[in-house]
Structure 1
Amino acid sequence: MYRTKVLILTSDIALESEIHQLLLEHPDKYTIFHQTELAQKTDLFDVTLIDENLIDKNPADFLAQYTIELFPSTVIYLTDSIELNDEFTAVKSLTADYLYKSQLTASGLNNSIKYALESRKLKREIEKQQKRYQSLFYNAVDAAFFLTADLKIENINEVFSNLFGVKLHQINGDDFKTIFNDPTEYERFVSRFIEDDKESYECEMKFNRLDRKGIFPGHLKISALREYYSSSATPSKMISGYHGTLSNISYKKRISSIKENSSRIAMTYRLARTLAHEIRNPLTNITLAVNQLEDEVPKNEETELYIGIIERCTRRIDKLIDQLLKSSEQKSLQSTECDIIDITNRAVDDAKDRAQLLDIKLITDFESEKSLYFCDSGKLLIAISNIITNAIESIDNESGQVIIGTYEEDGYLCIYIEDNGSGMTESQQKTLFDPFFTSKKKGVGLGLTNTLSIISEHKGHIEVDSEKSIGSTFTILLPIADILQKD
């Protein structure tokens, strides 16, 4: 049976003898030690009974100084009298219990030691849980955070710092709403979680990167932290703050979007090829019939007018069919080692004449001077050129500009084309890459369809951020894992 190791720390021989005798009334419980001054090896003991007369300075200062040295021993303070002042309050916070030397009894001493040991056990368990929780917080895979009760940012982990590009001292005390992209989404979050007094809440929404322009889709999980308060007649559990995690689901969204776009394009092209062949057969018959009519019908102004209309329309339909079939051809990539910066610069050079005629500025913003990639340079040039052309043609104001740049982010090499043109509605963005969708008067609607097909062949993706009357940003994302790697 384990015996609790008790150190009696006093220079008062009579007091030591009295305590020793009281502890011996429980002979199987305690192993008793005595010191007249604080020694170096106090960590050998479970409980230390310390006489206040040993302390020749402020008791709180003494205990604060030696608490670490006494650890893991638990301190019971032996005193002649107690004054209810700030000093004693500090003493109580540094000890497990206190006893009056004039009122010592065997049962009282035994209960005090039992209480001190239980307090130590509870304290250790709490510290253990705190360390585990701190480890989970600081080593979490997702961005983690703590908020105050009034939704101010109180603490963040390293993942959060990297995700938003800020350190704790830069964001500490800021409103939680600063990371939300849409104020309406923040108001919805407050309404559904805070005002409805829920214990936890999770949702998907867009968040702002705080170190630079840009947004990303994230999955937010947040829970309320509650503590008991007994200031009123009835103790209540009040919210003391919040904690949660936030994960960047850009990659997940991109993969889902890539699969959806690839499936939709493949299905559209299959349907288009089928329709093209079905239309071309009767179109051929119409052409032959018109040619026959030209030989048989008497020529006059009226017949020539109508036959001319039929011929022009059949030629236009035939041309559209050729364009559709050509755009739907799945040719293998001719991949070689290329410089993305060079390809992008070539696309910008090709667009300079058109931009100059329309008095539109072309601005380049490359993160690096060179960026090698294994790709089909010819096809990639077509894709980038198509987007730059679209950006130029969307501008109808006097101070038009298009910014073309590159950067690396989240495992992707990104090429962005940003304009201050007419922008698009959400419904327009949803059908943007569909064949024959166009807002141009003379457009066919196959340029962006072909562009998306090229980027998809490179295992990439295109993101569009647009606002009506503000402008659009097209971002081509090419997986960095494929840099200089052959299929």
Structure 2
Amino acid sequence: MLRISKMFYFLLIALMLLTGCQLYRPVPGYLYLCLFLLLLLFALRLQSDRSARIMQRELELALRRTEQLETVSQMAASVAHEVRNPMTSVQGFLQLMSRDIPSEHAHAMYLKVMEEDLKRISTIITEYLNVSRISGGMLEEVELGELLQNTCALLQSEANLRGIALTLDLPADSLRLTLEPGGLKQVLINLARNAMEAIGESSGTVTLALEDRGNTVCLKVKDTGPGIHARDLPRIFNPFYTTKATGTGLGLAISKRIIEEQGGSLAVQTEEGKGTTFFLHLPKHPFPPSDSVRRSVEK
């Protein structure tokens, strides 16, 4: 856009100089040169308008995504009070009923189905609530290798049940950053679980890795799954976009926002049939907390 504007003004100045020269001394082919320059100016103007429209559309899309997340944040507060509390009571009573009914009884199967569905509802509500309280923790100095080891320990039993190998790739030296550890752990768990779901029933490997890259630190979540389809890749960070039958489409949007709140960035690299790697880039230097982080700390 800026380059087009510079060329436009350069051609306009050239046309003015050519006209000025014509007043003092006739320039051979003046009319043709003027016509050529005018056509170039017209073409550049059209290109500039087209670029401006594209930029405007991108800004509108970004604003729409932000408004979607804000809408979910408002919904989450209402959901917490109106749904979660009574649902907890229902879960408690179902568990009591399950203890009194023999496992071979037909009703035992119905109770199990209801408990599983309630757990699924609880998971969906938790994802919505996470949108409204992304930056709810205190900033702390964290040893990243230890945080990755703790995260791996939390996920190990789930990986064993799925028949998936969960590995760690850590540097020899300790790496410490000032950040909100709860949010970072939430992102790692979310990405690792997505990786295990992508691998599915086939055997595979999920790797949590840590790299020192000078001014930044890179955490990686790598899987040997089927990869992300090219048509889905541009939209995976959009709120509510999901390829899962039971997904909410908020996990990656929340993860991206959490990392950006911590002063970093979240990127993805994928190859169909070979796997996917998510890169969490975090700055080493202490970053000024955003307004949402600052408000949560002041509370």
After TM superposition, is the score higher than 0.5?
Answer: yes
Cα distance between partner residues in 2 of 1:476 and 1:261: 24
**Within 2, Cα distance between the matches of 1:399 and 1:318?**
29
Higher RCO (CA 8 Å, separation ≥ 6 residues): 2
Instruction: Return closer, same or farther for 1:378/1:470 CA change in 2, 3 Å cut-off.
Output: same
C-alpha spacing 1:432/1:260, structure 2 compared with 1 (3 Å): farther
Say whether the 8 Å CA contact 1:418–1:471 is kept in structure 2: yes
Please state if 1:441 is matched with 2:245: yes
Q: CA deviation at 1:390?
A: 0.8
The equivalent residue for 1:268 is: 68
Residue in structure 2 matched with residue 190 of structure 1 by the alignment: none
TM-score of the superposed pair, with normalisation by structure 2: 0.55
CA drift at 1:427: 2.6
Q: What is the CA-CA distance between 1:353 and the residue it aligns to?
A: 0.7
Superposition deviation, residue 435 in structure 1: 2.2
1:424 corresponds to which of 228, 231, 254: 228
Q: Which has the higher strand share?
A: 1
Unaligned runs of 5+ in 2: 1-58, 84-119, 290-299
**What's the CA shift for 1:434?**
2.0
Number of aligned residue pairs: give it. 193
Please say if residues 270 and 276 of structure 2, whose CA atoms lie closer than 8 Å, have aligned partners that are also in contact. Answer: yes
Q: Deviations over 1:134-170 (max 9, x none)?
A: xxxxxxxxxxxxxxxxxxxxxxxxxxxxxxxxxxxxx
Partner residue, 2:29: none
Structure 2 counterpart of 1:353, one-letter code: S
The answer (yes or no) to whether the contact 2:221–2:279 under 8 Å persists in 1 is yes
Unaligned runs of 5+ in 1: 1-258, 285-315
Amino acid at match of 1:356: N
Contact between 1:424 and 1:472, CA under 8 Å: does it hold in 2? yes
1:392 equivalent among 196, 200, 203: 196
Residues 467/415 of structure 1: CA separation in 2 closer, same or farther (3 Å cut): same
Q: In the alignment, what sits opposite 2:142?
A: 338
Q: Provide the secondary structure at the position in 2 that maps to 1:361.
A: strand
Q: How does 1:211-222 map to 2 (within 5 A)?
A: none
In structure 2, relative to structure 1, the CA distance for the partners of 1:427 and 1:470 (3 Å cut) is same
> 1:403, 1:394 → 2: CA distance?
14
Deviations 1:84-131 (A, max 9, x none): xxxxxxxxxxxxxxxxxxxxxxxxxxxxxxxxxxxxxxxxxxxxxxxx
CA gap of 1:329–1:261, structure 2 versus 1, over 3 A, is farther
Contact 2:227/2:271, CA 8 A, preserved across alignment: yes
Q: d(CA) in 2 for partners of 1:449 and 1:366?
A: 27
CA drift of 1:452 comes to 1.3
User: Matched residues in 2 for 1:404 and 1:322: separation?
Assistant: 24
Cα drift, residue 364 of structure 1 = 1.1
Which structure has the highest helix share of the two? 2
**What residue is the counterpart of 1:413 in the other structure?**
217
TM-score normalised by L of structure 1:
0.35
1:370 to 171, 174, 178: 174
CA apart distance, 1:350: 0.9
**Cα distance between partner residues in 2 of 1:261 and 1:460:** 22
Distance 1:380 1:273 in 2: 20
- Could you tell me the percent identity over the aligned residues? 25
Task: Return the letter of the residue paired with 2:150.
Answer: R
Q: Which deviates the most, 326-335 or 348-357?
A: 326-335
Task: Name the CA distance, whole Å, in 1 between partners of 2:268 and 2:60.
Answer: 15
Does the 8 A contact of 1:383 with 1:454 survive in 2? yes
C-alpha contact (below 8 Å) 1:366/1:405 kept by paired residues: yes
Change (3 A) 1:480 1:357: same
- On the 8 A contact 1:262/1:456 being kept in 2, the answer is no
User: Helix, strand or coil: the match of 1:394?
Assistant: helix
Distance 1:389 1:486, change over 3 A: same
Pairwise CA distance, 1:324: 2.7
Instruction: Tell me the C-alpha RMSD between the 2 structures.
Output: 3.4
